[in-house]
Amino acid sequence: MNHNDHIDITIIGGGLAGLNCAYALHKRLPNKNITVLERGDRVMGLTSSASTGGFRNFFPNSRAMTNLSNRSIDLLLEYARASAGTGNEFMMNRCGYVFLSAQPEQMERYKKQAQAAHEFGSVPSILRWHSGAIRYNGHPYNPEKPAAVFSSVGFDFELYKTHKDGLDLIDDPAVIRKLVPDSVTKDVRVMFHVRKAGYLDVEGLGTCHREELMR
Ligand SMILES: Cc1cc2nc3c(=O)[nH]c(=O)nc-3n(C[C@H](O)[C@H](O)[C@H](O)COP(=O)(O)OP(=O)(O)OC[C@H]3O[C@@H](n4cnc5c(N)ncnc54)[C@H](O)[C@@H]3O)c2cc1C
């Protein structure tokens, strides 16, 4: 950049928020010159480089967070799809997010939270409660394998779309034991699985945005 460059939009900070903002603006305003200013020696070098990269749409105490996370996850899916040609650089999956409790009475709290999230209208789901031999709608609880959304050519959008939304509540010890090995804990009695959730590689997402902006 030199002093004669015309800049339409300046974004201060080259963490994930800044790069994502620049990327989204660039998609909408392709003819504008968007500049990201970073004071560190590299972008994605501060908080974003420490992130675990987990995401979920379950925030039963906040309608705003539920709406924000649903919208964000849908946008991330669009980005994953767009980057599929280059090998799904940020490895988004849908492995879900699991809450575990050793206290059976936690079941009622999870049910209430699920109801609250459902009332926000943005958890597009129903609670599927798998209790003992009872199976929701006759179907056993059978979560997808996180790796299943990838194939040798990258992100499998069609497969991703088939993943369930919503929430599963499980109190069947046999099912829990299969999914939560004794080496983690023997004490789990209740498992609550948020399905619109997973992980992604935050550095990879930043790189995708950066490369798109530099093109
Ligand atoms: C250990 C850890 C785990 C986390 N796990 C998760 C998770 O699983 N899921 C999740 O959603 N979130 C998680 N987070 C939170 C997430 O990482 C942050 O919310 C996100 O990275 C913040 O991005 P940012 O762009 O706002 O900030 P940053 O990544 O900190 O970027 C801000 C940038 O602005 C630059 N800057 C500051 N001032 C100026 C200035 N005056 N001029 C120019 N540049 C400037 C900084 O150098 C920096 O590069 C986690 C955070 C941590 C620390």
Confidence of residue 43 (pLDDT cuts 50, 70, 90): very high
Give helix 16-28 / helix 202-214 axis angle, nearest 10°: 40
End-to-end CA distance of the chain: 15
Ligand 1 is surrounded, with C-beta below 6 A, by 12-18, 37-40, 45-48, 50-55
For residue 14, the CA-to-ligand 1 centroid distance in Å is 9
pTM exceeds 0.95, yes or no = no
List the residue whose alpha carbon is closest to atom 15 of ligand 1: 51
Confidence of residue 155 (pLDDT cuts 50, 70, 90): low
For residue 16, the CA-to-ligand 1 centroid distance in Å is 6
Whole-Å CA distances, 64 to 69, 86, 111, 119, 125: 8, 33, 20, 13, 17
**69: three-class secondary structure by DSSP:** helix
CATH class of 1-52+201-215: alpha beta
For residue 157, the CA-to-ligand 1 centroid distance in Å is 28
In whole numbers, what is the pLDDT of the chain averaged over residues? Answer: 81
Domain ranges of the chain: 1-52+201-215, 54-199
Q: Per-residue pLDDT tens for 8-40?
A: 999 999 999 999 999 999 999 999 999 999 999
